[in-house]
Structure formats: C-alpha cells, structure tokens
C-alpha cells in the first residue's frame, strides 16, 4: 500500500473480520503494510497506520491507487517474491498494475477497473486482460475490478478457504448480494440503459424482478403508471431501444449469471429467466454474445463433465 490508495479496497477487509467472528477464532490475522511503514494516506486524505514490508503473508492483497503509477524497485521485488512465497496474491482494482509490474500476470488472465483495463493491456502486453469481469482467479493469482468488486473478491477468497455457506453468511452481515460470479459483467443492463425518469426506471426494476412473467408492454406500462402507447414512446426516448429489446437484455444478463454459477441445467435457466425454452435462449445468446449458452458455459470453465448434457 502506498499514498493515494483507495479506501473501498480496504473496506472489503471487513469480510475477514466477520469471518473470524463467525468461526469463533482469529483464522485471519490482518496486517496492513507499506514499503516503509508509518502513516499512509488514502486518495481522500484519510491516514492509516502501516507496518513496513517484512515477512510474506499467506495471502497478499495489493490495493491499487486512484491513478496507477509504476511501483518502486523495492515494492516490485517484494510483490515478485510474494508470488513465490505466499499461497496466493490478489490485486484489488488498479493493484493489478503492481502485480503486472512485478511480472506476476505474465501469461495469465487478469482484470482491473474498466476505466484502466485498456491501459493495463497496452502497458503489459503479456497479460491477458479481460476488462469485463468482476474478478478472475488464474492459479494462485487473483485480480478484481474496481470499487465494490473488492468485496466480491474477498468473499470468494473466504469461500475458497472455507465454504460457500460461510461466504453467504458474511454477505448477509455486509448487506450485499452474495458474491457475484467472477465472470459477471462489470456493467449491468440497468446501468447501460440509463433511464432518466423514475417511471421508466420503475418498469425496468419490475422487469428485472419478474423475469418469469411475459413482460408485455402492457405489464411494463402498468408498472410505470402510463398507458402502453405513452410508455413505449417514453421508453424509446430515454433508452434508445424498444421495451422488448431491453427485456431480452435483462433476461440474458440473468441467464449468463445462472450459467456461471453452474448449478442448473439449461432448461431451468431458460425457464427462470423467462426465455421459456432452450432454443429461444440459444438464439438470443447467439445474437448478443455470438455463441450459444453451452459454449459460454464451457469457456468459463464453470462446469466439468457436462459435455454430453450441454451438447446442442
């Protein structure tokens, strides 16, 4: 950690604190370190006491800065050695730049905040940058996107150490959605549509919460307290697309997340996300992602031994 670190990355460490409480023992011992120790200030100017870099922890989490910059030779060497000495190393947000600078990401898949992903790829061409992932694990190296995704990464580390049940319990204490799958997009369909009015936003939230419904224009218009004609016109003005296209995007986002979890066959995924059947979902995936759900699931390596079941 150096001056200018992001407070959000540090806040995610609360998950380890709750893990200790839930397990009834100090399973995780947290030590905040910087190159020389002493008080380090965040990008907000908040100071935090740190210890100098000494021994290598079981898990090293490198917190990024608001604006990434090259690491010092001493810090670069420490992170490089941690790749050999520590059980795992994680780069939170722009912390991926420090891992890449130390050579830990060469030939590996990694992610970072979407605003810096292209720069990461340009500066470190040997890194396989996926700019649209919440977090990525490649062997013993983990990286996450920005801001709140640090919580998803931390919960994933705890689940890796203990169980999904413990991770879920901690998520409830943190009042967050239980760990989003690593392959989930950094962007949500609701954010991309960016409706300006509360009425259109209300209709989209209704759609997201009732994907198994037919979600006709009439149903969405009722949620928005508008006539179908008024709703269709206002929806196009604010989002640039038809209600049907937006609903399909919400269904695709939900279906992709279910596929990444790997817990349900395609028939259940299609039913629960409102596609009604596998074939309709398959056509939608081909239009939007350029590949069928079977291929997407296999490429994410989230299901093993299901090739026969998933064969189209």
The CATH class of the 7-174 domain is alpha beta
Measure the CA–CA gap between 84 and 81, rounded to whole angstroms: 5
Q: Per residue in 139-194, pLDDT tens?
A: 999 999 887 888 989 999 999 999 988 998 998 888 875 555 555 555 567 667 77
Min mean pLDDT across 115-124, 277-286, 295-304 is at 295-304
Looking at the chain, the whole-number percentage of residues with pLDDT higher than 90 is 59
Query: What six digits make up the tokens of 250?
Result: 């919400």
Which helix (H) or strand (E) segment holds residue 253: the answer is helix 243-261
- What does each C-alpha distance from 126 to 66, 72, 100, 101 come to in angstroms? 23, 21, 9, 11
Q: Look-up: residue for tokens 């810096």?
A: 116
* Radius of gyration of the CA atoms of the chain, in A: 22
Q: State the pLDDT at residue 305.
A: 40
More confident residue, 227 or 171: 227
Q: Which CATH superfamily is domain 189-312 in?
A: Homeodomain-like (1.10.10.60)
Q: Look-up: residue for tokens 């549509």?
A: 193
Statement: residue 300 has pLDDT above 60: no
**Is this structure's pTM higher than 0.75?**
no
The ranges assigned to domains in the chain are 7-174, 189-312
Q: State the pLDDT at residue 184.
A: 56
């Amino acid at each position: 950690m150096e001056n200018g670190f992001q407070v959000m990355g540090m806040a995610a460490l609360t998950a380890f604190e709750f893990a200790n409480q839930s397990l009834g023992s100090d399973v995780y011992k947290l030590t905040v370190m910087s190159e020389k120790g002493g008080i380090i200030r965040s990008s907000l100017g908040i100071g935090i006491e740190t210890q100098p870099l000494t021994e290598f922890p079981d898990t090293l989490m490198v917190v990024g800065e608001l604006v990434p910059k090259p690491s010092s030779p001493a810090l670069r060497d420490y992170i490089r050695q941690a790749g050999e000495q520590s059980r795992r190393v994680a780069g939170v947000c722009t912390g991926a730049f420090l891992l890449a600078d130390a050579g830990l990401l060469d030939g590996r898949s990694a992610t970072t905040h979407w605003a810096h992903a292209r720069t990461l790829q340009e500066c470190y061409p040997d890194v396989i940058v996926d700019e649209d992932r919440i977090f990525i694990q490649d062997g013993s190296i983990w990286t996450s996107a920005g801001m709140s995704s640090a919580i998803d990464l931390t919960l994933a580390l705890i689940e890796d150490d203990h169980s999904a049940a413990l991770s879920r319990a901690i998520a409830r204490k943190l009042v967050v959605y239980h760990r989003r799958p690593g392959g989930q997009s950094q962007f949500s369909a609701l954010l991309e549509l960016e409706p300006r009015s509360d009425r259109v936003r209300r209709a989209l939230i209704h759609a997201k919460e009732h994907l198994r419904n037919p979600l006709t224009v009439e149903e969405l218009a009722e949620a928005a307290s508008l006539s179908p004609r008024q709703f269709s016109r206002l929806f196009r003005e604010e989002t640039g697309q038809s209600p049907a296209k937006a609903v399909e995007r919400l269904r695709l986002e939900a279906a992709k997340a279910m596929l990444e979890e790997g817990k349900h066959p395609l028939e259940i995924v299609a039913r629960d996300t409102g596609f009604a059947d596998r074939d309709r979902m398959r056509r939608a995936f081909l239009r939007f992602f350029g590949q069928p759900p079977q291929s997407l699931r296999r490429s994410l390596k989230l299901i093993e031994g299901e090739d026969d079941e998933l064969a189209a």
